[in-house]
Amino acid sequence: MPPHVDDHPLGGHRRRIDDAVVFDKLVEARVFGAGYEGIGEAGCSAMTLPGRHDEWIRLGVWDRLKLACLAAYEKMIGLDLTDLAVDGCTTKAVCGGECAGRSPVDRGTGGLKRSQLTDGAGVPLATVSVPAHPREDVLLLATLDALTDFAPLPAQATVHLDVG
């Protein structure tokens, strides 16, 4: 984690909750699918979690963590980059957001379309999210471009697509 610089002009505020505690809570929220309110406690309130999550997104912590996890997986088990699979799905975006758009399959309510690329064993390597209305084939190039972290790919790599 990058070091936190306390630049409060008066210096009289609560101490910052330790990054390890917040990280554990954020992982807990993802694993159990719980909201921040459900896992907040006296040592780490539910109000701290989204702020720290957004801060770490801005600092690129999550991207570095993803690459570190994939590198560890590659070292221990090995990624199968000769067979890749790409598929997409449309999901609801109930709370909206910058990526939500009019869904053609759900009476025009807010939705997202995700295109995901996995290796031969099903390990997710890249995900691209867009508003729900574009066709899946439009996302293929953007999804394949997200593989820049794994360049160069094997010369005989095969990309499997669904029938759509």
Residue 141 pLDDT > 90, yes or no?
Answer: no
Question: For residue range 69-86, what is the model confidence (pLDDT) as tens digits?
Answer: 888 988 999 888 889 999
∠ CA 147-29-74, nearest 5°, is: 30
Question: For residue range 30-69, what is the model confidence (pLDDT) as tens digits?
Answer: 888 888 888 888 888 888 999 999 999 999 998 889 889 8
Percent of the chain with pLDDT over 90: 13
The token pair that represents 33 in the structure block: 């699918």
Residue 163 pLDDT > 70, yes or no?
Answer: no
137-145 long-range contacts, CB within 8 A, separation 24+: 137/164, 139/88, 139/113, 139/115, 140/86, 140/115, 142/115, 143/86, 143/115, 143/116, 143/117, 144/86, 144/117
Instruction: Please state the rounded mean pLDDT for residues 102-115.
Output: 71
Average pLDDT score over the chain = 82
Classify burial at 53, counting beta carbons within 10 Å of its beta carbon; exposed 0-12, middle 13-18, buried 19 or more: middle
Residue 164 pLDDT > 60, yes or no?
Answer: no
The answer to whether 116 and 124 are in contact (CB under 8 A) is yes
Helices (H) and strands (E) in the chain, counts: 5, 5
Residue 153 pLDDT > 80, yes or no?
Answer: no
Residue 88 pLDDT? 84
